[in-house]
Each structure stands twice: as structure tokens, then as C-alpha cells.
Amino acid sequence: MTETRNIGDTLLKVDNISLSFGGVKAITGVSLEIREREICAIIGPNGAGKTSMLNVINGFYHPQEGTITFGGEVRRKMRPHLAAQGGIARTFQNVALFTGMSTLDNIMTGRNLKMKRNFLWQAINIGPARKEELEHREFVERIIDFLEIEAIRKTPVGRLPYGLQKRVELGRALAAEPKLLLLDEPMAGMNVEEKEDMCRFILDTNDEFGTTIGLIEHDMGVVMDLSDHVVVLDHGEKIADGVPDVVRADQNVIDAYLGVAHE
């Protein structure tokens, strides 16, 4: 599977990032690269700093040290707004949807940056503003078809079961047509069938749209199946980086997962 896809140049480069909260070191000197069109998995035990890394990449957290290079620009701090504008979309470990809004409206918010009309037009819903809204609506309908959630288009997402909420959240991220899609444990808490569906959507997204994906996941089977490249974090440090088979056999990784004591 990997050999037939043409993985490109580096899209995101995280260089020597350190992040701490007061005395707690969440990330210590981690560097990693994600290349165009690949699926990169970030794994590691609980509290390893995986979510913190995503938060650094999309600008929620500002590291004390290091730089982030995305789309050719080097930044010390990313800003969420700039990240979104640059084409980074994400989902959250604890689903973060707009619970009062319908599935359709939630996914529509993902189109926010694609709306070209200026601010004053956006404050009304007539004439050109309405026309633009309808065009985006069409795009969103295609995402809804793609994710097979037609039946819940109008349902307020707060009422959906967890598995479907995760799917809607993926839809919202896809609506932005991202260059880099960051998924924080997209399959956590799902049953086997839901997991299989989610795996398929992730692979299809990568295949059909060529979207680069950064994925945090605990399920080793899923990680081995999906990813081209795996980065392992433990206690905020990177302990392995490579193709899935090699990483799986790495003694440090095995120790980290078995909880061998650190000195």
C-alpha cells in the first residue's frame, strides 16, 4: 500500500520543541517531520505529551523553545487562526462539537474560512451571500455523503451517540479542505464496527483527496494498519521514529509500553 502512493516533501517540521506548564514538562526537545500525503501516527503511553504536541502544532499552546515550519514558513508560535488559514484542521480527544447546532451546521462552520464575501455580507442572508452559502452547502452535502451520515443531517449533535459525534467532527475538519489533518484519538471509545468505519474514512480521505494526516491513536492494530510512519513519545520525549514494523520491534518502545522504570 505504501509503495504505490507518492509521499512528497516535508509539509510540517517540528524542531526541538519544549513545552512546560509551570513545573510540569509536557514536551522536551522533540523534533518530528510529517511529509506530504503520508499518514503519520503519534503514539505513546498516557501523559506522553501527544495531545500537547497537536496543541503546539495548531497554536493552542506556545512552546518555550523550538520552531514550527509549516508550508515553508518558520514560526516560533503558531496561532490557531493562522494554523486554520494555512490549512491545518483538527479534531479533539474529547469531542469538541457545537452541541446546540445540527450536523449540517457543525460541518458548515468548517467552511468558515472558505467564505469569500466580506464581513457585512456575512451578516445577512440575501443576494450574493445566500448564493455563496448554497454553494458551500453543496460541498458540505458531499462530505455528509462521504461519511455516510445523511440520516442525521438535521439532528442537533448533542443528541448523537459518541461514535457519530466523532464522525461529525471529522466532517467539520474535512470541510476546510485541509492540507494537514490532525486527529486526536479518532477511534477512542468506539466499538469494533465503528472503528472499522473510521479507519476506512481516514484511508479514503488520504487516498482520494491526498490529505496529509497526523494521527494520535492507542490501538496498535489500527496504527500498524494505517500509518506510513510512527513517532513514539514517552514522558514528553521522542523515543522512536520510523516505519511501523521497525518501531514495533524497538526495545525502548516495548519498555515504555510495559512501563519499565525510567531512571
Positions that interact with another protein (CB under 8 A) = 58, 60, 80-81, 83-85, 89-90, 92, 96-101, 105, 108-110, 112-113, 115, 117, 119, 122-125, 129, 133, 172, 176
113 binds, among another protein, Mg ion, ligand ATP, none (CB under 5 to 8 A by kind): another protein
Residue 44's binding partner out of another protein, ligand ATP, Mg ion, none, with CB under 5 to 8 Å set by partner kind: ligand ATP
Q: Which residues pair with 12 in a beta bridge?
A: 34, 70
The CB-of-252 to ligand ATP minimum distance in angstroms stands at: 16
Q: Tell me, rounded to whole angstroms, the distance of Cα 141 from its chain centroid.
A: 21
Out of another protein, Mg ion, ligand ATP, none, what residue 46 binds, judged by CB under 5 to 8 A for its kind, is ligand ATP
Copy the grid coordinates of residue 137. Answer: 452547502
Q: Of 48-56, 111-119, 153-161, 254-262, which part binds ligand ATP (CB under 6 A)?
A: 48-56
193 burial type by CB count under 10 A (0-12 exposed, 13-18 middle, 19+ buried): exposed
CA 204, CA 120: separation in Å to the nearest integer?
A: 37
C-alpha cell at 94: 474529547
Phi-psi category of 203—alpha, beta or left, where left has phi over 0 and alpha has psi -120 to 50?
alpha
Q: How far is the CB of 93 from Mg ion (least distance, A)?
A: 5
Q: Which does 166 bind (CB under 5 to 8 A by kind): another protein, Mg ion, ligand ATP, none?
A: none
Residue type, 110: G
Q: Could you say which DSSP state residue 112 is in?
A: G
Exposure letters 197-210 (e unless 16+ CB within 10 A, then b): bbbebbeebbeeee
Give the nearest distance from C-beta 26 to ligand ATP in angstroms. 3
Piece in contact with Mg ion (CB under 5 A), picked from 28-36, 88-96, 103-111, 205-213: 88-96
Residues that bind ligand ATP in the complex, under the rule CB under 6 A: 21, 24, 26, 44, 46-52, 93
Residues that bind Mg ion in the complex, under the rule CB under 5 A: 51, 93
